Amino acid sequence: MRYRPLGRTGMHVSVQALGTMMFGAVGNPDHDDCVRIVHAALDQGINFVDTADMYSAGESEEIVGKALRGRRDDVVLATKGHFPMGEGVNRGGNSRRWILTAVEDSLRRLGTDRIDLYQIHRPDDSTDIEETLAVLTDLVRQGKIRAFGCSTFPAEDVVEAHHVAERRGLYRFRTEQPPYSILARGIEASLLPVCERLGMGVLTWGPLASGFLTGRYRKDAPIDLTSGRARLNPGRFDPTLPVNATKLDIVERLVGLAEEIGCTLPELAVAFPTAHPAVTSVVIGPRTMEQAMAAIKGASLVLDDVTLDRIDEIVPPGTNVYHPDGAWTHPAVARSVLRRRAVGERAAG
């Protein structure tokens, strides 16, 4: 296993982070099995575990807490907050009120007295970034978190946050966690260069492109839309949709490339993000032990320039074949009221 500095935090982490989104009710409900997966990953050299309060409504954090009993000091532990947890309009977001509550709840579920990296899971346009940075700064000074970062923030929001932190004398985001895969390379155009210039660590998620780069879904082969990931979101895999047909065409070319260099498609996919100089670690999110061990094999694979040039020919740098599932969409795009003038607007004269 290889290790890299986590930005300028002083912590060093494995080039793969064990993501635990699939631990609990939404993925693997067997707590003992999930604990075994965590232990196996640690035994393979992974020292970075990433979770979030909203994964299976807190169940994932509880499982991680069980798994790290007796091994907590060997692990850089990361979690996230932002998404609603339970009923109530104020039980989510990036406000001081909610973050103070969310951190205490995460500490309790994780069974620990500190979080090494606390991440703001998504932007919140209803909260001033200064308020968010101020409460996170207070939590670092209290020793409840060691460092903090953001997740799926656009480049302009990262820059604004750093500007506000400098102007107000606050601690700043030390990491960013964006989606990144061979099929979703949009962050190469601005976000990754910004993070590199600011000295931020980068944890990327979604290297298998929601399952398309597992090799399970192939062109001209029947796709069962009633099982696995396809059952949860049939439209994501429906081969009659043009975007999915394009993905399947690309998969065939990538399968051929993987065979040429003597690896599997998942190994190629997991190795790809770590080749970028701005990327610190890639988050793998297995549901089973088999998936975990297969993904970890990609940690030892280092792609050479020839292979990376071939990937560039298949998917041009800085482009997205599709909008990554779960990625943040700016309110200015998502809300029609923000991109349409009011009907009946008065004319001057």
For residue 79, the SS3 value is strand
Cα 335 from Cα 324, distance rounded (Å): 19
Q: Give CA–CA dist 251/262, Å, rounded.
A: 16
For residue 119, give the 3-state DSSP assignment: strand
CB contact at 8 A, 47 and 13: yes
DSSP string, 201-255: EEEEB-TTGGGGGGS-S-TTS---TTSHHHHH-GGGT-TTSHHHHHHHHHHHHHH
Q: Quick check: 181 and 207 in contact, CB under 8 A?
A: yes
CA-based end-to-end distance of the chain: 71
Q: What is the spatial distance between Cα 177 and Cα 104, in angstroms, rounded to a whole number? A: 22
Cα–Cα distance, 41 to 46 (Å, whole number) = 6
Active-site annotation holds for 118: no
Give helix then strand counts, H and E, for the chain: 12, 10
Q: Which of 55, 118, 180, 322 is catalytic?
A: 55
Give the catalytic positions in this structure.
55
